[in-house]
A and B are shown apart, each in its own frame.
Chain A
Amino acid sequence: MNWDTFIWFALPAMILWACAGIVVYRKKSKVLADILMITGISIYTLFIIGFWINIERPPLRTMGETRLWYSFFLAVIGYVTYRRWKYPWLLSFSALVASVFICINLFKPEIHSKNLMPALQSIWFIPHVTSYILSYAMFGAATVGAFVQLRKINRKGLSDKKIFDFLDNLVYVGFGFLVLGMLMGCVWAKEAWGHYWSWDPKETWAFVTSMAYLAYIHLRLQGKKYEKTALWLLPVALILLLITWIGVNYLPSAQGSIHVY
């Protein structure tokens, strides 16, 4: 399996997810939504496994490959959190965003090299990147939740406690993964480059992003007082996160970064 056969797995997966995202709103079709979603995820997983075997290294190097995982974890986490919190929008949204990233891979494929440079050959590589992608998926979902909550506040003048519980949990879990990803990156950097933190542009931006979520967490400890400020912080933090993830490569300040691929 390679990028040429990707479409034959991606297309069925996207169609199944789209169907799941629609039927989930019908009260009677909950089981059907489960089946559609799980089948879609299975097909997608099958491709990742085959692809991994084919390229003889974990597919975690190029941007295209990280998008592959982002779609995967969005679908999986979207589904799991939907089952936990029962918000149908969560399933539809994660299915939609997962599909968007699949489409980017389909229509704008990049050069996919098979060669992994020596510095990337580390046991920390997979957990480092996977941990980040998990946190990105959590924060992506939290941002949507923030807008839902803001709309609730604007309409009724009151926030929904259930949504806030959900949001806070998502941010806590996402932040936990973000911190783990950073720490694993630090330990890896110490092994490979001699220092655990060098203020490499990607590191600087990761720090900026983590500060934004840290501010959210602390603002939320003050009860109802700063609800709206905290909520607006989530989309801002997501923008910072996207710059860390994608934007850094294009910044003039990032020339010579060890994280450019």
Chain B
Amino acid sequence: MTIMQQENKRKFWQMPWGYPESITITAGIAFVGFVLQITIKEFNFYLLTSPVNLIVGALIVSLCLLTLTIRKSKFLKWFTSIPFSVCLIMALLILTLIMGLTPQTGTAPADRNFFALLGFYNMTGSWPFILIYFTTLLSLGSLIVRRLAKFNIKDYGFYLNHIGLWLVLLAGGLGHADMERYIMHVREGEVEWRVYDDEGTVKELPIAIQLNDFDMEEYPPKLTIIDRTTGEPQPLSAPDYYQIDTKAPTGKLDGWVLEMNEYIHQAVRNSDSTYREMPMPGSTPAAHITMTNPSTGETLTGWVCGGNRAQLYKSLELSEKYTVVMTVAEPKRFMSDIEVYTPDGTTKSAILEVNHPLRIKGWTIYQYGYDNAAGRLSSYSSMELVYDPWIVPVYIGFVMIAIGAIAMIVRGRSSNRKTLLTDNQKEE
């Protein structure tokens, strides 16, 4: 309403353009995108694989620089204006909002419905998204060039935020096509160089990894009462769990009072069904507990153990129907002792762990997984190898935006208000 009223003085499509034209043009771009999506199907991002993305990137930079020659034109002023920026921001908002509401499965569920036709199930690969993305790059890039042409150090917040964002958008988007991600499974004591891509195709890499040892630390598990026939934790509506904690050795399980007398994190079973501490790969957590039923006064004492591939589990039977069991321990840390070789003779060794990747020759190696069923006894370790050559400009962008964000926090809006407003008024 307000937008329309204020634009009334000027005729539609009469320069200088404002919101009506910006909205129309943004919607038009999105519309063209949807038409393309329906007719020629989704945009294949991997067309942008190097060197195409370098050429496209150079083209975008040149186009933005070329706008210097038409710096005074009303069209460029509109193209880099706030109304058009707001419309592009809103377009991105709406497209990503749809994306946030639609499962991004790539393909539609079973039937090919209308939303699938519009590319909603693979938003970032759909033409409307791609076109709005490139328009944003051009608009933002031209704005940066225009503002840099009359450089003013007082605008440092503007430069940091806008150039940083532009770098991230450009390098993140175009660089995506050059990114390679593979999974490698290495057996303990063996060397491996074959990897799988996300479609399961085998590929050989110029990197070999030797797994010396895989190890895992676990959290103390939980105890719960289960139905011996169904295996369901009790009570059914909201199962009780006692988290083993030597500092809090009592708990309540389905009406029973639990008292933990002893806990051994790495235990092995003695011949007489008791447990002793023995740190080794096949050891398992074991707890000695006393269960008391307050209503009947019944008391039962015994060992409970989770078990693994090397040892049987042990439960404490409360009745014919119910028994106390130990849950599978959750992993605390898992790590691979590896050595990495490249063809030129570079060797690196490391303990690979989640959140602690290894970088070698442009590749980053991540701890990815292990044999979940075997847990600590896993005989192999899975690693993810990522090649991301465009990461440097993205991180430069991150640093710029971060400094810009700190400037926003410290200064608020007050101090940069004047320059921006006068700049704006000049335009209008």
Q: Which A positions have Cβ atoms within 8 angstroms of B?
A: 111, 113-115, 117-119, 121-122, 165, 168-169, 171-173, 175-177, 179-180, 183, 186-188, 190-197, 199, 201, 204-205, 207-208, 211-212, 214-215, 218-223, 225-226, 228-229, 240, 243, 248, 251-253, 255
Q: Is the CB of A175 within 8 A of B103?
A: no
Whether the Cβ atoms of B355 and A122 lie closer than 8 Å is yes
Given contacts A211-B89, A215-B86, A221-B82, contact A176 B409 (CB under 8 A): yes
Q: Which residue of A lies closest to B406 (CB)?
A: A176
Given A197-B172, A208-B97, A118:B86 Cβ within 8 A: no
A201 to B96, CA, bound (A): 10
**Pair B408/A176 contact, Cβ less than 8 Å:** yes
**Contact partner, B412, options A169, A190, A225, Cβ 8 Å:** A169
B113 at the interface (CB under 8 A from A): no
Rounded to whole angstroms, the CA-CA distance of A214 and B89 in the bound complex is 7
CA distance A36 to B72 in the complex (A): 59
Q: Given A168-B412, A183-B405, A192-B355, do A212 and B100 touch, yes or no (CB 8 Å)?
A: no
* Residues B286-340 near A (CB distance < 8 A): 330-334
Contact segment of B42-50, B58-66, B394-402: B394-402
Contact of A204 among B100, B181, B409, B414 (CB under 8 A): B100
The count of chain B contact residues (Cβ–Cβ below 8 Å) is: 60
Contacts from B to A (Cβ < 8 Å): 2-3, 6, 82, 85-86, 89-90, 92-93, 96-97, 99-104, 124, 172, 179, 181, 219, 241, 243, 245, 330-334, 353-357, 364, 366, 384, 386, 388, 391, 394, 398, 401-402, 404-409, 411-414, 420-421, 424-425
A206 → B minimal CB distance (Å): 10
A164 to chain B, nearest CB (A): 9
Point out the residues of chain B lying under 8 angstroms from A176, CB to CB. 405-409
* Cβ distance A223 to chain B, nearest Cβ, rounded Å: 6
Using known A-B contacts A121-B355, A208-B97, determine if residue A218 contacts B85 with beta carbons closer than 8 Å: yes
Interface residues of A: mostly helix, strand, loop or mixed?
A: helix
Chain B nearest CB: distance from A179 CB in Å? 4
Complex contact B96–A207 (CB within 8 A): yes
B413–A165 contact, CB under 8 A? yes
Total residue contacts A-B, CB cutoff 8 A: 147
List residues of chain A with CB within 8 A of the CB of B104: 199, 253
Q: Which of B92, B219, B409 contacts A177 (CB 8 A)?
A: B409
Is there contact, CB below 8 Å, between B103 and A253? yes
> What residues of chain B lie closer than 8 Å to A173, measured between beta carbons?
408-409, 412
Q: List, in ascending order, chain A residues with CB within 8 A of B407's CB.
A: 176
**Which residue from chain A places its CB closest to the CB of B333 in the assembled complex?**
A118
In the complex the two chains form, is A208's CB within 8 Å of B3's CB?
no
A-B contacts, 25 of them at CB < 8 A, read A111-B241, A121-B333, A165-B413, A168-B413, A172-B408, A173-B412, A175-B405, A176-B405, A188-B355, A192-B366, A193-B366, A194-B357, A195-B179, A196-B398, A199-B104, A205-B100, A215-B86, A215-B93, A218-B89, A222-B82, A223-B424, A229-B2, A240-B97, A253-B100, A253-B104
> What 7 pairs across the A-B complex have the smallest Cβ distances?
A169-B412, A176-B409, A176-B408, A211-B93, A118-B354, A179-B405, A168-B413
